[in-house]
């Protein structure tokens, strides 16, 4: 015991020195590390708020400057459409958002480029640009039509979250009352078609039963683009240990969500009430009235100035540790949900802070090879398997 006490001071000094070393190590690693974030909501800010992603923005969590600074070279831009856009209206809004991201790509061709394969992504990042991967967030966006799904694929969209907060006509959501007992026959066709045309099936937001139904049907690995662990923060949007194990058997990856309510039990309650408000019934609208309603809704849920939260960077590390323990280091990634979360963890307030996470992982004893897998390598593997090289 006495010997241990004598060791405390030198250990403390060594730890401070190590913390500096780890941050330097993280900064060094950044240039050679492929950072992939499987979910950001930034394109809403471009569509509704007309923000210029080429500038370092004073609010929100993502722009081209901060992505480069943080070494998150390849974000999945979610083309999220609220579920109150139904049928053809959901298709129209998807095209609006596809047009918005195109505006960014056209304005900054020397800084950001569309990636439609894993090889594209690697080549674009190597050339010093941001690689944009496009995803849909909500199966309602295909308006129950596989031809619409195929056309999205031809427009460069490479992933689809099967539901959002509400059930759609063919899949149950984790935050709605069960209606289909998981995935319907048509829902199974959607999964098979996505496998066939090289689109990644994303099971974030779906009910547990839908998740297991998807795994029974899919011939390819799936992702949970922005979910965390239910064992640490008990919300239906997070994955149980059994789901994490099943995801590992499938070869898939869960991108840890940085939303404070996904990370920390103290913050989880607030998130659940917010989800309830967001999934409340809304009037049946179309055309301009619908556009006006959604613009107001966006302002009401403007999360570009996040609230203080209990969650910290250490919670993110704890969730990564938990997935590694339950499912293995090959099945965890990053799915920040930046620009779509009401509160962010201390120490990871925006995309520029990612090196702090890398440093924390190194400090936690992860090897450089493991850090590469977590920060993007695992997701790149799934992209290669599903989309192709
Ligand atoms: Zn989401």
Give the percent of the chain with pLDDT over 90.
83
CB within 8 A of 105, min separation 6: which ones? 112, 113, 114, 132
| Residue appearing with tokens 């998150």 | 72
Structure confidence at residue 19 as a pLDDT band (50, 70, 90)? confident
pLDDT at residue 185 above 80?
A: yes
Give the percent of the chain with pLDDT over 70.
95
Query: Per residue in 274-320, pLDDT tens?
Result: 777 776 777 889 999 999 999 999 988 877 888 778 999 999 999 99
pLDDT at 2: 39
> Cα of 29 to ligand 1 centre, how many Å?
29
Least confident stretch, 25-34, 80-89, 111-120, 333-342: 25-34
Angle, nearest 10°, between helix axes 287-300 and 42-49? 120
Nearest to 152 by CA among 163, 165, 139, 164: 139
Please name every residue paired with 77 in a beta bridge, in sequence order, or none if there are none: 40, 134
pLDDT at residue 239 above 70?
A: yes
On average, the pLDDT of the chain sits at: 93
pLDDT at residue 32 above 90?
A: no
- Surface-to-core class of residue 280, CB atoms within 10 Å of its CB (0-12 exposed, 13-18 middle, 19+ buried): exposed
pLDDT at 103: 98
> Cα of 226 to ligand 1 centre, how many Å?
7
pLDDT at 277: 76
Q: Give the integer Cα–Cα distance in Å for 188 and 218.
A: 8
> Cα of 367 to ligand 1 centre, how many Å?
30
- Surface-to-core class of residue 273, CB atoms within 10 Å of its CB (0-12 exposed, 13-18 middle, 19+ buried): exposed
Structure confidence at residue 30 as a pLDDT band (50, 70, 90)? confident
More confident residue, 139 or 306: 139
pLDDT at 301: 82
Nearest to 176 by CA among 209, 142, 215, 135: 209
pLDDT at residue 1 above 60?
A: no
> Cα of 215 to ligand 1 centre, how many Å?
20
Q: Residue 388 corresponds to which tokens in the numbers above? A: 């192709």
pLDDT at residue 270 above 90?
A: no
Do residues 258 and 353 lie in contact, with contact meaning Cβ atoms separated by under 8 Å?
Answer: no
> Cα of 281 to ligand 1 centre, how many Å?
18
Do residues 167 and 176 lie in contact, with contact meaning Cβ atoms separated by under 8 Å?
Answer: yes
> Cα of 10 to ligand 1 centre, how many Å?
46
Mean pLDDT within 364-375: 97
Do residues 131 and 113 lie in contact, with contact meaning Cβ atoms separated by under 8 Å?
Answer: yes
Do residues 162 and 171 lie in contact, with contact meaning Cβ atoms separated by under 8 Å?
Answer: yes
Query: Per residue in 346-363, pLDDT tens?
Result: 999 999 999 999 999 999
Query: Per residue in 249-265, pLDDT tens?
Result: 999 999 999 999 999 99
> Cα of 161 to ligand 1 centre, how many Å?
8
pLDDT at 186: 98
pLDDT at 8: 45
CATH code for the structural domain at 33-386: 3.20.20.140
**Residue 374 DSSP symbol:** I
pTM of the entire structure?
0.94
> Cα of 213 to ligand 1 centre, how many Å?
20
Query: Per residue in 192-227, pLDDT tens?
Result: 999 999 999 999 999 999 999 999 999 999 999 999
Query: Per residue in 58-107, pLDDT tens?
Result: 999 999 999 999 999 999 999 999 999 999 999 999 999 999 999 999 99
Nearest to 323 by CA among 207, 261, 203, 231: 231
């Amino acid at each position: 015991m006495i010997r241990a006490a004598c060791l405390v001071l030198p250990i403390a000094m060594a730890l401070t020195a190590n913390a500096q070393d780890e941050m330097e190590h993280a900064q060094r690693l950044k240039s050679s590390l492929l950072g992939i974030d499987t979910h950001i909501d930034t394109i809403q800010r471009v569509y509704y708020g007309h923000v210029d992603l080429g500038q370092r923005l004073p609010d929100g969590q993502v722009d081209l400057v901060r992505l480069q600074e943080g070494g998150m070279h390849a974000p999945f831009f979610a083309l999220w459409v609220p579920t109150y856009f139904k049928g053809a209206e959901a298709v129209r809004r998807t095209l609006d958002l596809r047009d918005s991201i195109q505006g960014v790509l056209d304005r900054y061709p020397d800084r950001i480029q569309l990636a439609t394969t894993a090889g594209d992504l690697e080549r674009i990042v190597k050339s010093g640009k941001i690689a944009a991967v496009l995803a849909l967030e909500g199966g309602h966006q295909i308006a129950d039509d596989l031809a619409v799904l195929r056309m999205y694929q031809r427009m460069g969209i490479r992933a689809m979250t099967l539901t959002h907060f509400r059930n759609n006509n063919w899949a149950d959501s984790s935050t709605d009352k069960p209606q289909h007992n998981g995935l319907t026959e048509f829902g199974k066709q959607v999964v098979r078609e996505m496998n066939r045309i090289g689109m990644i099936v994303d099971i974030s937001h779906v009910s547990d039963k839908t998740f297991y139904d998807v795994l029974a049907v899919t011939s390819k690995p799936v992702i949970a683009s922005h979910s965390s662990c239910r064992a640490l923060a008990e919300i239906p949007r997070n994955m149980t240990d059994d789901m994490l194990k099943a995801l590992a058997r499938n070869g898939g990856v869960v991108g840890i969500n940085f939303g404070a309510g996904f990370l920390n039990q103290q913050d989880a309650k607030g998130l659940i009430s917010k989800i309830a408000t967001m999934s409340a019934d809304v009037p049946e609208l179309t055309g301009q009235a619908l556009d006006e309603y959604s613009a107001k809704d966006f302002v009401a849920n403007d999360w570009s100035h996040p609230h203080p939260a209990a969650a910290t960077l250490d919670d993110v590390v704890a969730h990564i540790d938990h997935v590694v323990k339950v499912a293995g280091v090959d099945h965890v990634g990053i799915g920040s949900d930046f620009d779509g979360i009401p509160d962010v963890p201390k120490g990871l307030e925006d995309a520029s802070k990612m090196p702090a996470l890398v440093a924390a992982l190194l400090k936690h004893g992860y090897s450089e090879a493991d850090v590469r897998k977590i920060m993007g390598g695992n997701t790149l593997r799934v992209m290669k398997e599903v989309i192709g090289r």
